[in-house]
């Protein structure tokens, strides 16, 4: 696996100047060999001094690149300029050593292959157009010869097909590299989640005794302070919160030993995704209606498929649970999409978010507001959801409306589709 990633890293890091320098030294040695071979063995009209001049120009450029850019990764524009020089230098060399009659004219194919392999399509197109012009210039003196024209046409076709074939192959390799990298990251994430589950189980076990003690003391205070209502109410709230903590920790411990066959599933359409995420929370609030709506843009692309990642599951799940907990009668989850974006909005009919929570929800510090005695919610679930969904590429908005609390989440379609393709 490491070998595959090392090979495919070439597609992500671009063209290194050092690689281009080495290839050009090889081409220079080959050109010198061709020059002396053609002089001695081929019946070609050769301008010896001019050909040596083109080779010297390539050597000077290579020395310049070696001194100033030896350890640099070239930008696409710089790599294109280097390769364009190679096309011009090869063309001048071939023109002075017999033109299209030179059997080594296939040297023109080499820059096309490098460009198709590493550069964006538009640079490869520009380089191919330059190569066609250069081949035409080499062929022009022999225009009256059908054989020379055929060789020129064949060379143009070879350059174009080589660039196209290498480009297509490189695109497939880039996709494979991205998929392998994403698979590796996914495996690492699953390992972290498994480790976190073991820690949660250990935490649930270790905190069980202290929470039992807190619960016992709170109940005792509640009975003994019956003549002090304000303190008795605080003791009752403390007891309720301790019981809630015990329930949460027991749930963590139980989940640790459950099989997770459904953790990795095929991407789903929006309505099915919301249903799958909301189902375990809705069973806790059977009196609250959960309505799921979809609003595709007219004429938009096909319905998006959403991967049920841990960030989506826990982030959206916490927000739905929060809405169910504070709603009076119902909540509405609306999914909308167009060609560019995908969004989910959650609207409940409760009292809305406390203003304090809306102020600190984006900050990384955990606040210490006075607990709400009605619902017992301190906003930590919202904080976790905010950062989970933001980390997944979402843009999150929380606000109050006349109808209650409102949360919207928006992702770019390209991000949603890429995650679904990987899953």
156 and 277 housed in the same domain: no
146 and 284 housed in the same domain: no
Could you tell me which residue, 412 or 251, shows the higher pLDDT?
A: 412
String of DSSP letters for 2-19: HHHHHHHHHHHH--BHHH
- Average the pLDDT over 111-118 and give the result: 83
Highest-pLDDT range among 99-113, 304-318, 368-382: 304-318
404 and 290 housed in the same domain: yes
Q: Which of 64, 53, 2, 3 is nearest to 28 (CA)?
A: 53
Highest-pLDDT range among 34-43, 196-205, 258-267, 372-381: 34-43
266 and 390 housed in the same domain: yes
- Both tokens of 150, joined, read 């055929």
- Average the pLDDT over 335-341 and give the result: 88
17 and 139 housed in the same domain: yes
What integer pLDDT is reported at residue 254 of this predicted model? 60
- Average the pLDDT over 366-395 and give the result: 62
Q: Is residue 397 domain-resident?
A: yes
269 and 136 housed in the same domain: no
Domain count, the chain: 2
Q: Is residue 267 domain-resident?
A: yes
287 and 148 housed in the same domain: no
Give the domain-ending residue among 181, 207, 225.
181
Q: Is residue 284 domain-resident?
A: yes
pLDDT band at 3 (very low <50, low <70, confident <90, very high): very low
Q: Angle, to 10 degrees, between the axis of helix 413-422 and the axis of helix 146-224?
A: 90
Q: Is residue 319 domain-resident?
A: yes
152 and 268 housed in the same domain: no
- Average the pLDDT over 214-219 and give the result: 80
Give the domain-ending residue among 181, 197, 212.
181
Strand partners, 295: 336
What integer pLDDT is reported at residue 7 of this predicted model? 39
Domain range for 381: 261-423
The DSSP letter of residue 407 is E
> Which tens digit of pLDDT belongs to each residue from 76-90?
888 888 888 988 988
Q: Is residue 146 domain-resident?
A: yes
Secondary structure (3-state) at 409: strand
> Which tens digit of pLDDT belongs to each residue from 273-311?
999 999 888 888 889 999 999 888 766 667 888 888 878
Q: Is residue 312 domain-resident?
A: yes
- Both tokens of 421, joined, read 């393709």
What integer pLDDT is reported at residue 1 of this predicted model? 39
150 and 60 housed in the same domain: yes
> Which tens digit of pLDDT belongs to each residue from 355-376?
777 766 654 444 444 444 444 4
Give the domain-ending residue among 181, 210, 243.
181
> Which tens digit of pLDDT belongs to each residue from 148-206?
788 888 888 888 888 888 888 877 777 776 666 666 666 676 666 666 656 666 666 67
Could you tell me which residue, 363 or 23, shows the higher pLDDT?
A: 23
Could you tell me which residue, 225 or 373, shows the higher pLDDT?
A: 225
14 and 143 housed in the same domain: yes
Q: Is residue 352 domain-resident?
A: yes
167 and 279 housed in the same domain: no
How many CA atoms lie within 13 Å of 337's alpha carbon, on the beta-carbon side? Answer: 21
205 close to 185: Cβ distance less than 8 angstroms: no
pLDDT band at 379 (very low <50, low <70, confident <90, very high): low
Strands of 266-370 (E only): list them: 289-296, 330-337, 341-348
Q: Is residue 212 domain-resident?
A: no
pTM for this predicted structure? 0.44
> Which tens digit of pLDDT belongs to each residue from 126-139?
888 898 888 888 88
Strand partners, 335: 294, 344
What integer pLDDT is reported at residue 310 of this predicted model? 78
312 and 401 housed in the same domain: yes
Query: Is residue 423 over pLDDT 90?
Result: no
379: CATH: 3.30.565.10
Query: Is residue 255 over pLDDT 70?
Result: no
- Both tokens of 229, joined, read 């209502």
């Amino acid at each position: 696996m490491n070998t595959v990633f090392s090979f495919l890293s070439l597609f992500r890091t671009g063209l290194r100047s050092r690689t281009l320098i080495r290839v050009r030294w090889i081409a220079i040695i080959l050109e010198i060999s061709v020059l002396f071979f053609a002089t001695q063995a081929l019946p070609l009209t050769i301008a010896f001094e001019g050909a040596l001049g083109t080779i010297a120009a390539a050597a000077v450029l290579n020395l310049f690149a070696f001194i100033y850019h030896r350890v640099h990764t070239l930008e696409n524009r710089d790599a294109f300029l280097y390769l364009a020089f190679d096309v011009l230098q090869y063309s001048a060399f071939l023109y002075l050593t017999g033109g299209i009659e030179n059997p080594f004219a296939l040297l023109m194919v080499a820059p096309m292959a490098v460009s198709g392999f590493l550069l964006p399509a538009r640079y490869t197109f520009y380089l191919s157009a330059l190569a066609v012009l250069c081949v035409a210039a080499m062929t022009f003196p022999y225009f009256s010869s059908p054989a020379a024209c055929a060789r020129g046409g064949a060379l143009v076709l070879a350059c174009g097909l080589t660039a196209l074939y290498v480009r297509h192959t490189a695109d497939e390799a880039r996709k494979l590299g991205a998929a392998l990298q994403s698979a590796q990251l996914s495996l690492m994430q699953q390992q972290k989640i498994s480790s976190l589950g073991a820690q949660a189980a250990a935490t649930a076990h270790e905190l069980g005794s202290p929470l039992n003690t807190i619960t016992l003391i709170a109940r005792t205070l509640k009975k003994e302070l019956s003549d002090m209502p304000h303190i008795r109410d605080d003791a009752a709230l403390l007891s309720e919160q301790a019981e809630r903590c015990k329930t949460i920790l027991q749930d963590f411990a139980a989940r640790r030993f459950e099989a997770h066959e459904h953790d990795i599933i095929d991407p789903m359409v929006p309505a099915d995704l919301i249903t799958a995420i909301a189902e375990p929370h809705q069973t806790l609030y059977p009196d609250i209606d959960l309505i799921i709506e979809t609003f595709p843009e007219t004429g938009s692309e096909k319905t998006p498929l959403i991967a049920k990642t841990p960030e989506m599951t826990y982030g959206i799940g916490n927000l739905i649970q929060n809405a169910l907990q504070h709603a009076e009668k119902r909540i509405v989850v609306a999914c909308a999409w167009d060609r560019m974006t995908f969004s989910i909005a959650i609207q409940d009919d409760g009292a809305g978010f406390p203003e304090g929570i809306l102020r600190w929800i984006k900050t990384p510090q955990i606040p210490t507001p006075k607990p709400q005695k009605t619902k017992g919610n301190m906003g930590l679930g919202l904080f976790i959801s905010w950062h989970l969904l933001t980390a997944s590429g979402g843009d999150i908005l929380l606000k109050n409306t006349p109808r209650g609390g409102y949360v919207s989440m928006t992702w770019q379609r390209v991000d949603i589709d890429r995650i679904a393709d990987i899953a």
